Amino acid sequence: MLRRAFLILAALGGVASAQQPAPLPPGVPETYRAFFEPAEPLKIVGPIHFVGTRDLGVYLIATRAGHILIDGGMPTSGPLVEASIRKLGFKPEEIRVLLITQGHIDHVGTLAHFKKLSGAQVALMSPDDELVKSGGKADFLFGAEERFRFEPVTADRVLKDGDVVELGGVKLTARHTPGHTRGTTSWVATVEDSGHSYRVVFPGSTSVNPGAQLVQNPSYPGIADDYRRSFRLLESLKPDIFLGAHVGVFDMDAKRPRAASEGAKAWVDPEGYLRYLGKSKETFEALVAKEGPAAQ
């Protein structure tokens, strides 16, 4: 999916307006339009708001001291995300911290845009800080392909597993869950909403992109072990609510209508989280088995 999404980006060219995203070029499947189309922004729980596109999760955490933005969509999506933030009554110029879950173009594409707009601190997990600084060139899978490139950004703060990012009373704990990228990051927070406390996890992707090698001539040394450690860590987090970098991960389209009447409770889904991880882990192990044992 990621590889084909970048083909769309290369064909689009230009910057999409906030109201009318650039049309898909001839021959591009409608399936990938959702990467670029706007979605109605909304409050999820407590200070956490969705401001992404129809497919890509982008999250604004609004606090009294400014805001945190997690992920950002494709490079052309800066105006779309801005418009969503403003529609909710917040100012993107008041973003104080920029975070990501992974250093791929469909999640860091607007990082430079919002850094310039707000002057926010960019905090990235090592070694994805080097990946983002290279503009995608340092990626173990896509580094040689120009369509995977994005505007480079240098981290103001380099994170390690367990580090905490705090702003306006909100604390986000960074958990290193590598495999998809070497610095894939899952974020954990506890927030309050209407007198209830909710544990929220933004899981870093656990999918394996086409072309990645896990056993035979691995894409990087230890990649399969990284995936397995990440699955174990993610399984231990036990969130009430989980919010993925792609909205299909947590079935947003089904939960959104319920939120109008149920509020934060519509997003509570610990069983769905375990199903998501179980399916992803099963797919990973099938790919490992398909490759066969490592060469001696």
Q: For the segment 70-118, what is each residue's pLDDT rounded down to a tens digit? A: 999 999 899 999 999 999 999 999 999 999 999 999 999 999 999 999 9
Percent of the chain with pLDDT over 90: 83
Nearest to 224 by CA among 131, 289, 159: 289
Q: What is the pTM of this model?
A: 0.91
Burial label, 287 (beta-carbon count in 10 A; 0-12, 13-18, 19+): middle
Taking the C-alpha atoms of residue 64 and residue 100, their distance in angstroms, rounded to an integer, is 21
Q: What per-residue confidence (pLDDT) applies to 296?
A: 57
Q: Kindly report, residue by residue over 219-274, the tens digit of the pLDDT.
A: 999 999 999 999 999 999 999 999 999 999 999 999 999 999 999 999 999 999 99
Residue 30, Cβ neighbours under 10 Å: how many? 7
Nearest to 171 by CA among 155, 195, 191: 191
Q: Is the pLDDT of residue 16 over 90?
A: no
Domains and CATH numbers, the chain: 2-290 (3.60.15.10)
Phi, psi of 143 (to 5 degrees): -55, -30
